[in-house]
Amino acid sequence: MTEYPLQWKQMTVGVCYYPEHWPREMWETDLARMKAAGISVVRVGEFAWNLVEPEEGVFRFDFFGDFLSLCAEKDMRVILGTPTATPPAWLTEKYPEVLNVTRDGVTYRHGARRHYNYNSPKYRELCARIVEQLAVHYAGHPMVVGWQIDNELNCGVDEFHSEADQAAFRAFLRDKYGTLEALNRAWGAVFWNQTYTDWAQVYPPRRVPMDGYNPHQMLDYSRFVSESAIRFCRMQADILLKYAKPGDFITTNGMFGNLDNARMTRECLDVYTYDSYPSFGEAQSGDASANEFRDRESSRYLTDVRGICPHFGIMEQESGMTLLPAPAPKPGQLELWATQSVAQGADFVSFFRWRTCPFGAEYYWHGILDYDSRDNRKLREVSAFCEHMRALDPVCGAKSAAAFAVVKDFDNACDARLDSWHAKVQAFSEREIFAASQYGHAPYDTVWLDGETPLAALTAYPVLIYPHPFIIDPQRVELLEAYVRQGGTLIVGCRAGLKDMDGHCVTRPLPGLLSGLTGTDIREFTFEDAREPFTALWNGEVVRMPVFDEILTPAEGTQVLARYASNGYAGEAAVTERPLGRGRTIHVGGAFGRDLVKKLLAHAGVCEPFRDIVEAPEAVEIVLREKDGRRFLFCLNYQATKQEVRLKATATSLYDGKCLTGRVVLPPYGTAVFEIEN
């Protein structure tokens, strides 16, 4: 696994702060109160272009200069944001070509954020200049410890249709394909007579009848958007690198669509940070489709983040109500959510935000302090969290223990946004694997696969579930085969191996390039008939075969683990296993229901990994972080009622240093962290 610099030498708590939103006379008190609460870092500046360049080419450095001086005085570290997510009004009014445009040709305008495009030469020029100006003036400041590039790249808007984007897409394609013949082939342009005979005919996907878009063009367009965002990020990173002090880090925050976050992190960033808002899973939907996991579902996203960067930070940790609406965090819940981040691998947690902004589009995006600035319950919880974080210092840098890993990759992530079949099975399986993992106390890691993934990134896990690799290429198959040969258990589901890297369906028998590993041959497949749900029998027990079903005709040497028990598929192979070297490949002919995942994990011998240490109800999340032979057990209670876990080993509570074993009660929304005796 790539070793990112561990930016966080100790458990660190920060907060997002907007000095420009408050009278200067409040700064000092605010910083003092932060420090008193245990906060040691503030993030500032990411929407403050005008304060530095109030008119084109005129730069002023007093504002953040003054603020940094005060921080030095108060011993407060600073992460500086580059302000490129919100160009000034003078900029967009003078250079409207920097604005983004919808697929239908509507230009996004000044008045919110993220209305610019990444490819306008003028915007890149103006961004480069302000970033350089900021770096020149502030990078050497002793209180500056890191830089955040832009803010939430691709958040909300991840399509770009300005003229600059059209030109850049064309250049991206020329670079990728060299010739129109190659592009026509990759895009299957012969279908519906789309063949291009001049580069000038090539565009991003513009409005077509019936949304009948070319899927290969769309796939390339997703990659292009990702490439554009990464180039934009890299441009800034390259500038910052020239000026940043040794040890200072470069990051950006958030995990949004059409963006290969793992590659961006590898290529441009020192460390990755995420914005965690667990109440998004709490929103009142008023119907039965309410999210089963509520706030707990954030552990799924945090697991994906950990896959990008093992020791990540949280740049924005929810500290109150957002616009949704959802109920305010209950007593304890704010700290629960912050501890959830730490359990999943964050060693830096920065709350969003110090005080709710009383104006602007986010005036209901609540901070720690309310509009009235008074001490309150949220501040008390933040203080308590800071105190706990100090006690958790031994955990800093510890690795999260995983029973298995789920494999993901950017190409399939794009495809699952574009291909409605892919979307359907992938969304289902991800949710259900998470459910099985959570309720079974068998945490997993996410491994982001790409051309640069080393074998060691896989062999760290006894079991890999690569749920639905619709798209796969020989290089990845080779890697997976090496993983299996050395003793791994690879599990793939329906539609595996369907497409090549251009998104064309393969013309060899399915599962295509994976056939050698699975030892199966698919000749029949269907969407599940909602009126006749599919099931299979595994050792006499019924399991669901949800969403999409394939008959897996086994080759010689392939063993059948489960057979369909319903509809026309009864008796046919539903789950198979094929040995190879010291390992094996399990092929599931459907999506992954939680009951099936449970069976698979048991079969692979990786369920209940902590059964010797702890016994916990489903309502409690159990996570283990390990470092230098020390084991730290996190117990998180997401319920409004107290929950009991039973420690089977002797353990020391990190919060209070008490040594204990046996029954331990977690209060409502309570957490505990134990160091397990060896």
Q: Within 113-142, which residues bind a second copy (CB under 8 A)?
A: 113-115
Beta-ladder partners of 77: 41
Q: Within 616-645, which residues bind a second copy (CB under 8 A)?
A: 640
CB-wise, 36 or 323, nearer to a second copy? 323
CB-wise, 243 or 256, nearer to a second copy? 256
Half-sphere exposure of 86 (CA within 13 A, CB side): 14
Rounded to whole angstroms, the Cα distance separating 191 from 194 reads 6
- In angstroms, give the least distance from the CB of 337 to a second copy: 15
Question: If binding is defined by CB under 8 A, does position 216 make contact with a second copy?
Answer: yes
CB-wise, 203 or 439, nearer to a second copy? 203
CB-wise, 112 or 427, nearer to a second copy? 112
- In angstroms, give the least distance from the CB of 543 to a second copy: 20
Taking CB under 8 A as the criterion, the residue among 2, 363, 478, 642 binding a second copy is: 363
Which window, 69-77, 222-230, 325-333, 556-564, contacts a second copy (CB under 8 A)? 325-333
Taking CB under 8 A as the criterion, the residue among 321, 384, 479, 660 binding a second copy is: 321
Contact at 8 Å (CB) between 217 and 191?
A: no
Catalytic member of 46, 53, 152, 297: 152
Phi-psi domain of 488 (left: phi exceeds 0; alpha: psi -120 through 50; beta: other): beta
Question: If binding is defined by CB under 8 A, does position 540 make contact with a second copy?
Answer: no
- In angstroms, give the least distance from the CB of 188 to a second copy: 3
Taking CB under 8 A as the criterion, the residue among 24, 242, 245, 330 binding a second copy is: 330
- In angstroms, give the least distance from the CB of 609 to a second copy: 32
Question: If binding is defined by CB under 8 A, does position 201 make contact with a second copy?
Answer: yes
Which window, 109-117, 257-265, 399-407, 623-631, contacts a second copy (CB under 8 A)? 109-117
- Please count the other Cβ atoms lying within 10 Å of the Cβ belonging to residue 279: 22
CB-wise, 2 or 179, nearer to a second copy? 179
Whether 626 sits among the annotated catalytic residues: the reply is no
CB-wise, 6 or 190, nearer to a second copy? 190
CA angle 434, 259, 432 (to 5 degrees): 10
SS3 call for 148? strand
Q: Within 638-677, which residues bind a second copy (CB under 8 A)?
A: 640
CB-wise, 267 or 370, nearer to a second copy? 370
- In angstroms, give the least distance from the CB of 19 to a second copy: 10
Rounded to whole angstroms, the Cα distance separating 105 from 113 reads 18
Which window, 170-178, 269-277, 355-363, 588-596, contacts a second copy (CB under 8 A)? 355-363
DSSP 278-327: GGGGT----STT--SSGGGGHHHHHHHHHHH-TT-EEEEEE-S--SS--P
Residue type present at position 153: L
**Residue whose entry in the numeric block shows the structure tokens 């800034």:** 236
For 317, the token pair is 């940790």
Catalytic member of 282, 297, 316, 528: 316
Question: If binding is defined by CB under 8 A, does position 423 make contact with a second copy?
Answer: no
Question: If binding is defined by CB under 8 A, does position 48 make contact with a second copy?
Answer: yes
Beta-ladder partners of 673: 634
Report the b/e string of 194-233 with b at 16+ CB within 10 A: eebeeeeebebbeeeeeeeebbbbbbbbbbbbbbbbbbbb
Q: Judging by beta carbons within 10 Å of its beta carbon (0-12, 13-18, 19+), is residue 128 exposed, middle or buried?
A: middle
CB-wise, 510 or 636, nearer to a second copy? 510
Rounded to whole angstroms, the Cα distance separating 149 from 250 reads 7
Q: Binding-site residue total for a second copy (CB under 8 A)? A: 110
Question: If binding is defined by CB under 8 A, does position 566 make contact with a second copy?
Answer: no
- In angstroms, give the least distance from the CB of 290 to a second copy: 8
Which window, 238-246, 354-362, 581-589, 647-655, contacts a second copy (CB under 8 A)? 354-362
Residues 502-531, mask of contacts with a second copy (x by CB under 8 A) = xxxxxxxxx------------xxxxxxxxx
Q: Judging by beta carbons within 10 Å of its beta carbon (0-12, 13-18, 19+), is residue 549 exposed, middle or buried?
A: buried
Contact at 8 Å (CB) between 16 and 475?
A: no
**SS3 for 61-95, per residue?**
CHHHHHHHHHHHHHCCEEEEECCCCCCCHHHHHHC
- In angstroms, give the least distance from the CB of 268 to a second copy: 23
Question: If binding is defined by CB under 8 A, does position 486 make contact with a second copy?
Answer: no
- In angstroms, give the least distance from the CB of 512 to a second copy: 9
Rounded to whole angstroms, the Cα distance separating 64 from 523 reads 66
CB-wise, 376 or 459, nearer to a second copy? 376
- In angstroms, give the least distance from the CB of 384 to a second copy: 17
Question: If binding is defined by CB under 8 A, does position 555 make contact with a second copy?
Answer: no
Whether 181 sits among the annotated catalytic residues: the reply is no
Question: If binding is defined by CB under 8 A, does position 93 make contact with a second copy?
Answer: yes
Radius of gyration from C-alpha coordinates of the chain: 26
Q: Within 145-164, which residues bind a second copy (CB under 8 A)?
A: 155-157
**SS3 for 393-420, per residue?**
HHHCCCEECCCEEEEECHHHHHHHHHCH
Name the residues annotated as catalytic. Answer: 152, 316
